[in-house]
A = this chain, B = another copy of it.
Amino acid sequence: MRRPWHLLLGVAFGLASAFSCFLAGIYFQHSHATRQLQQLIQQDVYAYYISPKIFAVFSFFSVANETSNNMQRIMKYGFPGLDDVRLYSDFVLSYDRRNRVAHWVCEHLQLANLQGARGVGRAGATYRPDLSVPSNFRSTLADYKHSGFDRGHLAAAGNHREQQVHCNETFLLTNIAPQVGQGFNSGAWNKLEIYVRELTQNFGSVYVCTGPLFKPRAQGNRKWSVEYQMIGSSMVAVPTHFFKVIMVESRLPLGKPYMEAYVLPNAPIPDQSTLRDFLCDIREIEHFAGLHFFQGIRRSAIFGSNYPSESQVFRDFA
């Protein structure tokens, strides 16, 4: 009866040492790969962008980190500017404390954002000031009241219907700018927002950057000047124009993204004009806004960015 005992002990010992060697192997490989990965992430910006996902693959217990994933997902192609950047649940915004409207609002639209759950929508949302902005730089409901201007959305409410909180946050006044109502907010601007949703439905993944412009006008005698109204006691600037820079990701493997931009004057626009009339060179918007769009990707790698006079995607939509 003694030998089986010894045998059992020997086998157990062998197994234990094998198992611990196995664990050591796992540990060695894990730390080796982690070190290699860390180097890659330090060298490559794209690896950095997806680093949480890479690490999630390697980790034994996965950690949910939705907030930072959201920021990385929406801002995948870079920040247009870095002044007072604010992260909301489904869009990212840069706030202009001098003019009390946003510099830019970035969104990443996928089918899930548009379709939304039952009962989610603007019915449950109310316009309200963003109390996280210091009171000296904050716009209020009173500023817009009797101003003659609409409270126009930059990130459209209809783009954020996945959760009610997403929709509610588009009604914060940081995401709102004074817009001409008749013929703009309820006219051409609305058409542009619908067009962006159609792009999302057809192509699945669209990046949109929206913001105000304060464009100079020729005064004759080769002089130029900027002029815009201020409303309310907080002095909220009324932009002369609004822009939307749109990047559509290709569905084809290794397909180039497609990029185009629109600038609409903040004024009544006749019904018979088409969106095509407002196509604009992205570099012109960058010059007047002081921003740089989608800098994470080389312009040469983008289809359409140098053809501002006609839209390639447009043919699909009549």
Contact = CB atoms under 8 A, between A and B. Distances in A.
A223 B216 CA distance: 20
A122 interface: no
Interface stretch (A79-87, A164-172, A197-205, A245-253): A79-87
B228 A237 contact: no
B290 A137 contact: yes
Contact of A235 (B81, B134, B287): B287
A133 to B, nearest CB: 11
A291 interface: yes
Interface residues of A, number: 34
Contacts of A286: 136
Interface stretch (A15-23, A68-76, A91-99, A268-276): A91-99
A101 to B, nearest CB: 11
Contacts of A287: 136-137, 235
Contact of A230 (B97, B216, B235): B216
A289 interface: yes
Nearest to A146: B222
A304 to B, nearest CB: 20
A289 B223 CA distance: 25
Please tell me how many copies of the chain the complex holds.
2
A231 B224 CA distance: 7
Given A216-B230, A227-B226, A230-B226, A289 B134 contact: no
Interface in A40-84: 81-84
B216 A226 contact: no
Contacts of A289: 98
A229 interface: yes
B230 A98 contact: no
Interface string A281-311: 0010011111110000000000000000000
A97 B134 contact: no
Contact of A292 (B81, B134, B226, B229): B134
A263 to B, nearest CB: 15
Interface of A: 81-84, 96-100, 134, 136-137, 214, 216, 219, 223-231, 235, 237, 283, 286-292
